[in-house]
Copies of this chain bind each other. A is one copy, B any other.
Amino acid sequence: MKIVFATHNRNKAEEVAALLSQIEILSLSDINCHEDIPETSETLEGNAILKANHITENYKLNCFADDTGLEVAALDGAPGVYSARYAGPDNDASANMEKLLSTMKGVDNRNARFRTVIALHIDGNQYLFEGVCEGIILKKKSGTEGFGYDPIFQPKGYNRSFAEMSMEEKGKISHRGIAVSKLISFLNNL
């Protein structure tokens, strides 16, 4: 979103720019963390916390971590926490989608939801934020944007898959976008 700050006062403009850049995200490369981080929990919450724990315990830094699952109603919430490894340990999005499409063949109830949980570790405290996006599993892949299951997930109220949306459009309605918005609001209100 582009928005004009109507001031000719350079001091005010500088102050507001500093306020807006309060949150600076460091990547794992930035902190020289190259090892695998365990994701061995059976819940999204558990995995998000495991990943955040890894950083606070080994690097003593404030951090957040997310875990995301695709929960399909007709499959009792599967693949859920195992979404990234649904077709095996290789985290191959294409194989995962193929497996889900074939499992869902002939299934009428296409309802599903993406759910993201973010664990924030800040100054010794832990906070959790959740974002949910309801939708349906399409019968075939559509679109090339995004990643993971995006080509076969169509959010409620839209007639396009996530993979047919720009990152900005997806971010406004997606599970991760909603969870990150909650995180940002929280950090800005600290």
Footprint of B on A, CB under 8 Å? 1-8, 11-20, 22-28, 30-31, 33, 36-37, 51-52, 54-55, 59, 61-66, 122, 146-148, 167-168, 170-171, 176-177, 180-181, 184-185, 187-190
Contact = CB atoms under 8 A, between A and B. Distances in A.
A185 B180 contact: no
Contact of A22 (B1, B22, B37, B65): B1
Contact of A19 (B11, B63, B181, B188): B181
Contacts of A26: 2-5
Number of copies of this kind of chain in the complex: 2
A66 B12 contact: yes
A59 B3 CA distance: 12
Nearest to A185: B185
Contacts of A187: 1, 3
